[in-house]
């Protein structure tokens, strides 16, 4: 077993404090990552509040982080010590259901193992997140970080960023296509900001008429149908973040 330092809340504690936690030794397909930056997601705050109310076990938030590989399992093929990597909100899944086989593990029929507050599929332990010095994770859920990207800015792309990037890519959004975003919070804003070379943002929020740049639709609207190129089953209506 490995140990590292982490910010966590035990039981009904309402604040995170620095403490020592354990990490498993890398399994055959595991990668151990020294965490260098971890994003702060609003989900972390929600989890902290909910955890304080439940008063059960240890919570270490953080599900969007980048770092450096410090150890690998014997069967790992895509990573080596020293690689710069990133990890998002999911660290494992069943790997066999239709959605997993389609590469959409976020809709795993057995529900994916989340980076924190999840249940490890091998030993049943509670996963502890990236507000820590080190994380041990299956190779399949680790991503190489492009060297030209600022590591301090990459972490949020692993949650809010990918949440909105994936559907844009999925439906081949591009010049000339009009897309809708339900809410310009963290995820929506990242959608409008990151790919701005080909996305023009406008808002029709009735709560903020001063920000309106296009008229809100009036009268009957037409329904939208997905392209016929879809190759995987429709995802169930739930989210992991």
Instruction: Give the interface with Zn ion as residue ranges (CB under 5 A).
Output: 41, 43, 93-94, 97, 100, 108, 159, 241
Q: Is residue 76 within 8 Å of residue 140, measured between CB atoms?
A: no
Residue closer to Zn ion (CB basis): 100 or 168: 100
Order of strands across the sheet that contains 2-10: 17-23, 2-10, 58-59
Closer to Zn ion by CB, 43 or 127: give it. 43
Nearer to Zn ion, 48 or 72 (CB): 48
Closest distance of CB 112 from Zn ion, Å = 7
Least distance in Å: CB of 64 to Zn ion?
6
- How many Å apart are CA 7 and CA 21, to the nearest integer? 9
Report strand pairing: 30-38 vs 65-72.
antiparallel
Please identify, using beta-carbon distances, which residue of 203 and 240 lies nearer to Zn ion: 240
Smallest distance, Zn ion to C-beta of residue 93, A: 5
The SS3 call for residue 9 is strand
Give the nearest distance from C-beta 40 to Zn ion in angstroms: 9
* Alpha helices by DSSP H, 112-239: 151-154, 160-170, 186-193
């Amino acid at each position: 077993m490995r140990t590292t330092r982490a910010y966590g809340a035990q039981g009904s504690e309402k604040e995170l404090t620095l403490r020592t936690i354990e990490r498993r030794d890398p399994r055959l397909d595991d990668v151990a990552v020294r965490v260098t930056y971890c994003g702060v997601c609003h989900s972390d705050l929600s989890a902290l509040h909910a955890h304080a109310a439940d008063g059960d076990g240890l919570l270490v938030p953080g599900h969007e982080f980048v770092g450096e590989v410090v150890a690998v399992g014997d069967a790992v093929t895509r990573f080596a010590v020293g690689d710069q990597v990133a990890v998002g909100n999911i660290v494992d899944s069943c790997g066999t259901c239709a959605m997993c086989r389609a590469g959409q593990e976020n809709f795993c029929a057995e529900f994916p193992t989340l980076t924190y507050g999840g249940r490890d599929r091998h030993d049943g332990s509670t996963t502890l997140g990236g507000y820590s010095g080190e994380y041990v994770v299956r190779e399949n859920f680790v991503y190489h970080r492009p060297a030209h990207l600022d590591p301090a800015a990459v972490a949020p792309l692993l949650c809010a960023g990918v949440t909105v990037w994936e559907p844009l890519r999925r439906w081949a959004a591009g010049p000339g296509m009009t897309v809708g975003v339900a809410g310009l919070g963290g995820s929506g804003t990242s959608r409008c900001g990151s790919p701005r070379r080909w996305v023009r943002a406008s808002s029709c929020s009735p709560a903020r008429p001063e920000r309106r740049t296009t008229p809100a639709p009036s009268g009957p609207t037409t329904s939208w149908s997905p392209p016929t190129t879809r190759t995987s089953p429709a995802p169930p209506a739930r989210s992991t973040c």
